Structure 1
Amino acid sequence: MLEIKHYSKIYSENKKAVDDLSITVKRGEIHAFIGHNGAGKTTTIRAVVGVMDFEQGEILIDGHSVKKEPVLCKSLTAYIPDNPDLYEYITGIQYLNYICDMFCVSEGERTSEIRKYADLFKITDSLGDLISSYSHGMKQKLALIGAFIHAPKLFVFDEPFVGLDPEASFNLKSIMKEACQNGSAIFFSTHVLEVAEKLCDTVSIINSGKLIASGNMEEIKGQHSLEDVFMEVVENGKEI
């Protein structure tokens, strides 16, 4: 579903923020993308969703190039950045209807999907309020609902659990699993390694712009915790 092939991002003075990165995420997989602050995670994610250009490599979504077919790739993808910027002066329901309009979700389908996810995240009673009145957690929930209601083939999340209460975090994990059971794929970054270890099928670890580990979660961590493996490979700087 997602293929990152020899991707590099070069900033000024020939500094490579990401260097020759290759990752594959298959349909039905939840893939954790982890690394320290400044490792290149957000830079990679922005390239995947087409909001940042890159100089080297290729990124494909369901076989389509994000460079050559950017609109098609965006139509297949849901993206939530680490700090979603929503339209503050419309209501929650207006925002969700706007998302449904963009992704051509029918009237009947959007009604049932909005009700389903709004009830699950417990913001149904707030959908008529201006988004500017929402807390950070409520805005995160609204952004997540906007991602799930159009059933994309690929979900790309940057720290999706930040700001969520425990019940919302639990429900998000269940929804992510359900989406993958229905044939989607999820590629997301997180600093919460315990969540990644329990939730994800596969994992990639990036350090200073370079991929140092990638593969099946159980194979990567072996008999250790993901946190132990992460600390070891980052401190040693060696690939595994």
Structure 2
Amino acid sequence: MRLLTQAIVCAVRVHGEHGAIVRTLTPADGIQPGFVRGGKSRRLRPVLMPGNLVQAEYRSRTDEQLAQLSVELIHSRAPLLAEPLAAAGIDWACALTATALPEGQPYPRLYEALDGLLSAIEAAPSARAWTAALVRYELLLLGELGFGLDLSECAATGARDGLAFVSPKTGRAISEAGAGSYRDQLLPLPSYLLERGGTPDWSDLRDGLRLTGHFLARDLLIERLAEVLPARERLVDRLKRIGS
């Protein structure tokens, strides 16, 4: 097997004395793991950082063998790691991607969305400018893995207007009129997830994070995969502090 592609570094794990096992997201081949010789070296450490864009070459003799991976840096986002919030956003988005996606399955929409989210963080390190993009990325990932929310119409009335809530059980939208006495049991649906344009306020951003967080924890990040949830909790806690 030989694969030559651009890729986003998503996870790096030290392996042996000098090497590292790296998981990248590629445009056409999804998550690809590989072993990088000298991955702990001074030369490669700045390259093998989550969020970086690299030229990756995978080689293996068989499909079952862990591929040997060589990388060249195309674009570094390492300077953002000096910004605590930007670093937390990058770490979480990349960890979620590396953990949730199965290996070798193509997710071109997720590749484009992750690259767009990382670019948004890079363009505007202030969290309010990219938190909405993060929520949309989490929604897209849920949908791509078969756990998508249905925000097209009210589950109770069929109306397409006035959608204001989401059922925590079914993941379907509920309108103001359809909520009735159950509104306190529903998750708020921020309007920026239904329409483009404008910058949401912190209240809407927190509602979006609460919405996606519920379904990520319930449907996707369970058992072993739940190990990455503390990274999200740290990010959300920091966002709450600056948005309060």
TM-score higher than 0.5: no
Larger radius of gyration: 2
TM superposition score normalised by structure 2: 0.29
Q: Name the TM-score, length of structure 1 as normaliser.
A: 0.30
Q: Which has the higher contact order (CA 8 A, sep 6+)?
A: 1
